[in-house]
Amino acid sequence: MIAAQASAQVALPATETTEQEVNQVQSSLQVQNRVSALRQYYDNSDFASLEARLSPLPPLQQEAVRSQLIDHAIDYAAKPDGLDQIKADWLEAQAARTPAFNVVEQGDGYLVTKSAFHYGAKARSLVVRWQQQLLALQMVDLAEDGELQLSQWLSGGSHIQTTRRDIFLAQLPALSETAVDELAAQFTSDSKLVWLPDNAAIAAVAAASGDEGVYHLLWRRRSDQYSLAELNRLAELAPQPAATKQLMAATINPTLKLQAYRALITLKPLPVATRDFLSDKLSEVDDGELVAAELARSGYLDWLEQLASVSRSQVLQKNFRSAVAQLP
């Protein structure tokens, strides 16, 4: 609060300056010496003293010193406990300052006006990253304690949902198996999770846990880049039994089924379970023609002919004839 009040600024029109003047003041001995003297006040979070020594400076020098102190803050934040709430409050105050100087650049037949110093955006970005780090630590602690309710934690406005989703995805690999299993159980018990805006969290938890219930939910939902990415990951793992099983399960998804079937059919040799699965599909009205056509294209025409010759299923025989007709 002291920092925010001390660095409060009356909104005045920005003064025009030049890039050369900005560079000169940034590299001047007066500014360099003042920055060196004020770093200790930042490190010690003594912002009342820092502001008291900043405010008497000429405006252009003051802005240059603030800019370089923000650069120091960014470096200092890399240390353990290099950023805390007191420092964050001061940084937020810097981000809220109205630009005091503008630089006008001559373009090709036009003029461009921009802020002479850009420390406000840097300060805000640093605080946002720190806040997200705190949120990540909180998420991990809640998950490990069995207290992370995903339907609540992933709720909020679009920006909040996206931020928390990305934090969840980044921290999920570090969670214990017990924590992951508890999160997986929520997807089959908490109906609110059905309304997540995308499949990112569901696909990540499915991959991390291998839980069949979570996979079933994933394949039933409208496909997106996340469910497709998980399908591709499983295709790379096949013919591992768990991966192959989920590729077969994914064929219930209207958008993903073609890619899932192709991933299965390209396995050489076909695992017994996959062979039986595809054989059964050939007799289905919905997917039988598609499966027959893909098998024929992949060199399984003799096998198809053999199945058609001994099968009493008119659907299978029809699908076989259709597959043959589609061959070049």
Query: pLDDT, tens digit, for every residue of 114-168?
Result: 899 999 999 999 999 999 999 999 999 999 999 999 999 999 999 999 999 999 9
In the chain, the percentage of residues whose pLDDT exceeds 70 is 96
What is the average per-residue pLDDT within 37-50?
98
pLDDT value at residue 1: 45
Q: What is the pLDDT of residue 11?
A: 57
In this prediction, residue 328 carries a pLDDT of 81
pLDDT bucket at 7, cuts 50 / 70 / 90: very low
Mean pLDDT computed over 228-253: 97
What pLDDT, on the 0 to 100 scale, is given for residue 107? 72
State the pLDDT at residue 82: 95
Segment 68-89 shows an average pLDDT of 97
Q: What confidence tens digit (pLDDT) does each residue in 179-215 have?
A: 999 999 999 999 999 899 999 999 999 999 999 999 9
How are beta strands 101-106 and 111-115 bridged, if at all? antiparallel
Average pLDDT over every residue of 110-115: 85
Residue 26 main-chain phi, psi, to 5 deg: -60, -40
Tell me what the pLDDT averaged over the chain comes to.
93
Tell me the C-alpha distance between 111 and 93, whole Å: 30
For residue 275, is pLDDT > 70? yes
Give the per-residue pLDDT at 138. Answer: 96
Alpha helices in the chain (DSSP H): 2-6, 19-27, 29-43, 47-54, 59-76, 85-95, 119-144, 150-153, 158-171, 177-189, 200-209, 212-220, 225-237, 241-249, 257-265, 272-281, 288-297, 301-310, 314-326
Q: Once rounded to an integer, what is the mean pLDDT over residues 269-293?
A: 94
The pTM is what? 0.84
Position 5 confidence tier, pLDDT thresholds 50, 70, 90: very low
Q: What was the pLDDT predicted at 10?
A: 52
Region 1-23: mean pLDDT is 69
Range name among 23-27, 82-86, 123-127, 306-310 with the lowest pLDDT average? 306-310
